[in-house]
Every structure is written in structure tokens, then in C-alpha cells.
Chains A and B, each alone.
Chain A
Amino acid sequence: MIKSLTYIFGCLLLGEIIQTFGHLSIPGSIIGMLLLTAALHFKILLLDDVKRFATILNKNMAFLFVPPGVALIQYISTIQSQLLAIVGSCVLSTIIVLIVVAFTMQKLDKTNG
């Protein structure tokens, strides 16, 4: 367990360092995710080294959204005054993305129908 904690926080730390020193706008956590993927792919780390903590995080990610979601309490008036901009754009854009991605993939995928 401690091993997987060390490696996952290690990737996060490296990601944060790369973001800070590279003045990048990509979040350090995403750089860390790519570092972890690369480390596993090139066998620098083994799946067993990181699996325990990673599995706990992957399975319970939804729970971590709750406290940031409670911050809604501070934006109730913003959302009320911008209801159409927020709800309208999200509904339309989500449907468009869904159809475009699925339609493109279905057209390009020649392996099966």
C-alpha cells in the first residue's frame, strides 16, 4: 500500500514540478497521469506496484466530487442569473459532441458494423 502511495504521489509531484518549471497550462495531475502511463508502459513501474491505491481512487472517484460540488452554495445566484447560458450551452453541446464522436467512429471503424 505504501509503495503504491509513494509512486502515485511521486507521479503527481513530478507532474506539478514539470508544470511549474515549464510554465504549462496543463494541470500537473494530468502530466502525472501521462507519466504514470508511460512508466507502466516502459516497465519502469509494474502494475502491482501502483494497483492498490490506484484501484481505490479509480473506484471511488465520484465521491471526491462532493465537497467541490457543495461550493454550488456560493454560485446559486450566478447560476440563477445565467441559467440559459449554463443549461442551454451544456445541453446542446453535450448532444452535439455525443453524435459527432459516435457518428465519426461508426463511419471510420471498418472492422465491424
Chain B
Amino acid sequence: MDELYAVLNTKIFSITFTCLVYLLSQKLYARSRNFFLFHPVLLSIAVLIAYLKISGVSYETYKEGGDYISFFLGPAVVALGVPLYLQIEEIRAQKGPILISLIIGCIIGILSGVFFAFLFGGTKEVIFSIAPKSVTTPIAMGISGSIGGIPSLTAIIVVLVGIFGGIVGVPILKALKITNPKAMGLGMGACAHGVGTAAVSEEGQVHAAYGGLALGLCGVITAILTPLFMNVVWPLMEMWK
């Protein structure tokens, strides 16, 4: 029995089990016709946390194996350069409207998130972890770490933001009569990164291309602006207190 338990503590077990849980979550998500609570990332995280609680395996032990998977977030961000390159001509043709919309969106995204978190009594580490919430997880985690937030808390927040935006986004836009495909794509990619892009992609190809564009550009814009803004905003908030 002790030997069996020792197996649970190995890196290989953590890696294999993570893959298996994700694989089954994907199947369940497809079976449930993409029911939001069965989103594979959300479901896998819930199952793995339940497993750690029940088995008594510590998070630190799990992380030793999990790090081999999350390590690839670095090259995954670099690889986003490929879709960005493929859309360069598109960006050039429409660069004014696209850049204006996204820069305004990123500024409002950072400031409104930080402002509401402050208003609702968030602590410093929570406010800093929320600042990059609208962009794709690896970028958001990088920003969070560099400004003094908690990258793994940011990761959770980003995933939840994505799922929320992915569910409510398209119905909200339709209710407001915002039906321009480029506008819908940009809005969804800007507010809910990859999950929002996936959701709006079901509406059409132009939606998908602009979603991906917003995902990439917002990542870059937010990475540049967040450290600058937090240098100014946080001292103001401290004075306010």
C-alpha cells in the first residue's frame, strides 16, 4: 500500500493523471454540447483539486509534475506570433479602427478591473492579480508576475473571465444590435481572450479572424500598459485609503 501511495507522489503520475483528466473532460464537454460548467479547463481544475484534497497529496508534490506541462506556456505565447503574422495584411488595411478600438478597450479593461476591485475592498495582491485579467493566460501570468501580482491567482481569474465572457458576450452584443462581424470578433477577443474568440468563431470566419487579432494585440498592448498604469494608479489608491 505504501508503495502504491509512493507512485501517486511521482512526477510521471502527476503528468499522466493531468492528461487523462483533461482528455475525459474534453469528451464530457463535447457530450454535454459545450455546457459551460463542463468547460475542460474548469472541469479538469476542479477534478484535480478534489483529487489532491481526497488523496492528501500536497500541491507542491503535484506541481513538480505539473510544471512540466505549464512550462510550455512560454513557447505557446511565442507561437501566437504565427496567427499574428498571418493577419498582418488585415491589420494594415484596417489599422486605424482596430488599434483605436483595442487601445481604448485595453485601457478601460485594466483601469475598470482595478477600480472595481479596489472599490469592492480588494487587497493589493488581488488588485494586481486582476489588472491583466482580460488577456490570454500565459501573457496575463507574465504581466502579473512582473508587476507584483500572484501569477497563479491571475491564471484562475483569467480562466473564469474567459468562460464568463464566452457565455454572455455574444447574446449581449446581439441585444445591443452590435452585429458587425469585425466589431463582434474584436470585442470578444478583447474581453475574453481565447475562450471569447472560440465562442465568437461559431458566428463566422470574419468573427474568428478578428477575435484572434484582438487576442494577440490586446496581449501586447496590455503587457506594455499594465506596468505603466499600476505605477501611477496604485500610489493614488494608497493615498485614497
Chain A interface residues (CB < 8 Å from chain B): 8-9, 11-12, 15, 25-30, 32-37, 40-41, 47, 50-51, 53-55, 57-58, 61-75, 78-79, 82, 84-86, 88-106, 108-109, 111-113
Contact = CB atoms under 8 A, between A and B. Distances in A.
A70 B187 contact: no
A98 B169 contact: yes
A34 B88 CA distance: 12
Given A66-B44, A91-B164, 12 more contacts: A12-B74, A29-B77, A30-B77, A61-B136, A68-B141, A75-B150, A82-B123, A88-B116, A95-B168, A97-B109, A101-B183, A111-B94
Contacts of A74: 59, 152
B100 A108 contact: yes
Nearest to B73: A64
Contacts of B100: 104, 108
Contacts of A95: 168, 172, 191
Contacts of A78: 125-126, 153
A89 B122 contact: yes
A63 B19 CA distance: 8
Contact of B157 (A35, A58, A64, A90): A90
Find the residue from B79, B180, B214, B216 having the highest chain A CB count within 10 A: B79
Contact of B182 (A33, A55, A65, A109): A109
Find the residue from B97, B125, B139 having the highest chain A CB count within 10 A: B97
Nearest to B76: A57
A73 B57 CA distance: 12
Contacts of B127: 85
Interface of B: 18, 21-22, 40-41, 44-45, 48-49, 52-53, 59, 62-63, 66-67, 69-70, 72-85, 88, 94, 96-98, 100-102, 104-105, 108-109, 112-123, 125-127, 130, 133-134, 136-139, 141-143, 145-147, 150-153, 155-157, 159-161, 164-165, 168-169, 172-173, 176, 178, 180, 182-184, 186-188, 190-192, 194, 214, 216, 219-220, 223-224, 227
Nearest to B189: A101
Contact of A97 (B49, B134, B156): B134
Task: Please report whether the interface of chain B is mostly helix, strand, loop or mixed according to DSSP.
Answer: helix
B117 A89 contact: yes
Contacts of B41: 62-63, 65-66, 69
A84 B98 CA distance: 33
Contacts of A55: 82
B81 A11 contact: yes
Nearest to B66: A67
A40 B82 contact: yes
Contacts of B80: 33, 58
Report the 7 A-B pairs with minimum CB-CB distance, sorted nearest first: A27-B142, A67-B66, A102-B187, A36-B81, A71-B152, A85-B122, A89-B116
A72 B161 contact: no
Given A25-B227, A89-B120, A68 B75 contact: no
29 contacts: A25-B146, A27-B77, A27-B145, A29-B73, A30-B219, A30-B220, A33-B81, A36-B85, A40-B85, A41-B85, A54-B82, A57-B75, A64-B137, A64-B138, A66-B18, A67-B63, A69-B156, A75-B153, A82-B121, A84-B121, A85-B121, A85-B123, A89-B112, A90-B133, A90-B161, A93-B108, A93-B112, A94-B161, A103-B176
